[in-house]
């Protein structure tokens, strides 16, 4: 069987693309950095003023609700049956380090828009606002109610999205389809598979923040005892790192992803990915070298991220701690993982405190109507582009909407190469100017695809 080719390349419409880039630039210039527990919403209210100037028809024709800085718009359709919601967040992570271009300059240079939030996620936010703006200018009336939502607390899993969900529940809204950030149009999603691929997020892993604490009587460092707090914590961390307690397994979603991508790989990778029943055990071992992102989909992960101890070189700490971030998978979820870690912590005489813990999300049915609509919309908007389901290892606001929506799809129609992927939450975040027209077209087509 000959290998398939994902042949998509964005069409060039320089004038229109630049107009969109200039809108996005103004959005980036508004610093909407968020911090855990942040209560001041003044920067978001200023951002709302920018949106109102950029998208006047949206603000004139849609019902707008502000919920502690988060936004919710309603566009009345011909019927309130099977409403849809388009979503991307306003807030961005801090822009630290030395940047090529100032992180809130929104500079348009070398065919790219530079700045914090360009990809995550003001690019897609601009695109669906622009899509509705254009449809309104054309006199279009949607078949179903269309909601636009944008929280200002996504980056720290804050209350923005949950409060918006509560507002929708009060209104009795049950969504048919939600389209949030998550997957994107990725260049070479797995090593050895060339081209661009629409990676459509169908679920996301659970998440937890856990603190492990070791205590002692302290003392002077000139006479150190055995099993000091830091020594116990170090042994615990080494135990987890050297011999992972987490089981690797190909879930149905991950298997579907590799099956879809296998058709575009060269031999022997296409044969290996297309026959997981045979090569799965080998792939579990070698996957980290092929695709670290793919490897993270196979198991619960645990990353040690913060630590503390004594404030002086010559003082033994009475208390030392290490913090970890976990991402649960369905085959070893919250309950089993926490029980396993409690046993490990007891072994090293550590206290374990759960700061936050959320179970993994439900998975969208890739054979269902909603997924098929998104898949067909992608194919219509981006001719030649391959589509693949994708299991998210990071978290999104879509997680909070599952109680009012069975089809929470995570896909932003933004084209990203490997270097641009590194810029998300990193240095020099940017996206290509030429990918913006396609992003707007995707949302327009998705709205038009809702037929009764």
Active site residues: 91, 154
CA dist 87 and 178 (Å) reads 7
Residue matched to tokens 């190469």 = 417
Collapse the DSSP code of 394 into the 3-class scheme (helix H, G, I; strand E, B; otherwise coil) and give the result.
coil
CA dist 409 and 414 (Å) reads 15
Q: Quote the distance between the C-alpha of residue 167 and its chain's center.
A: 23
Which residues does residue 411 pair with via DSSP β-bridges, in sequence order? Answer: 183
Residues in the chain: 452
Q: Please, how many CA atoms are within 13 Å of residue 191, restricted to the half-sphere of its CB?
A: 10
CA dist 224 and 314 (Å) reads 10
Per the CB < 8 A criterion, the answer to whether 356 and 421 are in contact is: no
CA dist 141 and 131 (Å) reads 13
Collapse the DSSP code of 411 into the 3-class scheme (helix H, G, I; strand E, B; otherwise coil) and give the result.
strand
Residue matched to tokens 């659970």 = 206
Cα three-residue angle 381-382-383, rounded to 5 degrees: 110
* Closest C-alpha among 324, 303, 193, 341 to residue 258: 193
The beta strands (E) that lie in 219-314 are given as 219-220, 301-308
Four-point Cα dihedral 443, 447, 449, 452, nearest 10: 170
């Amino acid at each position: 069987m000959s290998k398939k080719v994902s042949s998509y390349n964005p069409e060039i419409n320089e004038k229109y693309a630049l107009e969109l880039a200039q809108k996005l630039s103004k959005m980036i210039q508004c610093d909407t950095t968020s911090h855990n527990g942040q209560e001041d919403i003044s920067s978001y209210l200023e951002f709302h003023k920018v949106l109102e100037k950029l998208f006047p028809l949206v603000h004139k024709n849609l019902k707008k609700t502000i919920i502690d800085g988060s936004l919710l718009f309603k566009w009345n359709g011909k019927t309130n049956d099977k409403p849809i919601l388009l979503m991307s967040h306003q807030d961005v992570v801090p822009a630290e380090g030395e940047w090529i271009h100032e992180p809130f300059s929104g500079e348009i240079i070398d065919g790219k828009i530079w700045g914090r939030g360009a990809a995550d996620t003001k690019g897609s936010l601009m695109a669906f606002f622009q899509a509705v703006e254009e449809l309104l200018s054309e006199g279009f009336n949607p078949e179903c109610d269309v909601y636009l939502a944008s929280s200002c607390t996504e980056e720290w899993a804050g209350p923005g999205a949950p409060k918006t969900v509560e507002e929708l529940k009060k209104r009795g809204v049950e969504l048919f389809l939600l389209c949030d950030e998550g997957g994107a149009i990725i260049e070479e999603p797995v090593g050895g598979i060339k081209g661009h691929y629409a990676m459509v997020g169908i679920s996301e892993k659970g998440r937890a923040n856990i603190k492990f604490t070791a205590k002692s009587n302290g003392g002077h460092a000139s006479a150190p005892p055995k099993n000091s707090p830091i020594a116990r914590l170090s042994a615990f961390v080494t135990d987890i790192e050297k011999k992972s307690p987490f089981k690797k397994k190909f879930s149905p979603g991950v298997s579907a992803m590799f099956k879809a991508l296998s058709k575009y790989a060269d031999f022997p990778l296409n044969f290996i990915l297309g026959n997981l029943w045979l090569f799965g055990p080998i792939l579990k071992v070698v996957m980290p070298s092929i695709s670290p992102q793919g490897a993270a989909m196979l198991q619960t992960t645990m990353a040690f991220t913060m630590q503390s101890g004594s404030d002086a070189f010559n003082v033994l700490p009475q208390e030392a701690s290490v913090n970890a971030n976990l991402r649960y998978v369905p085959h070893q979820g919250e309950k089993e993982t926490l029980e396993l870690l409690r046993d490990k912590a007891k072994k090293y005489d550590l206290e374990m405190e759960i700061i936050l813990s959320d179970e993994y999300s439900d998975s969208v049915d890739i054979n269902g109507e909603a997924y098929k609509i998104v898949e067909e919309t992608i194919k219509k908007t981006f001719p030649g582009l391959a589509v693949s389901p994708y299991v998210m290892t990071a978290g999104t606001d879509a997680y909070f909407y599952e109680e009012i929506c069975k089809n929470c799809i995570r896909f932003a129609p933004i084209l990203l190469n490997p270097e641009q992927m590194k810029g998300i939450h990193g240095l020099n975040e940017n996206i290509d100017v030429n990918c913006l027209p396609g992003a707007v077209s995707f949302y327009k087509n998705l709205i038009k695809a809702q037929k009764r």
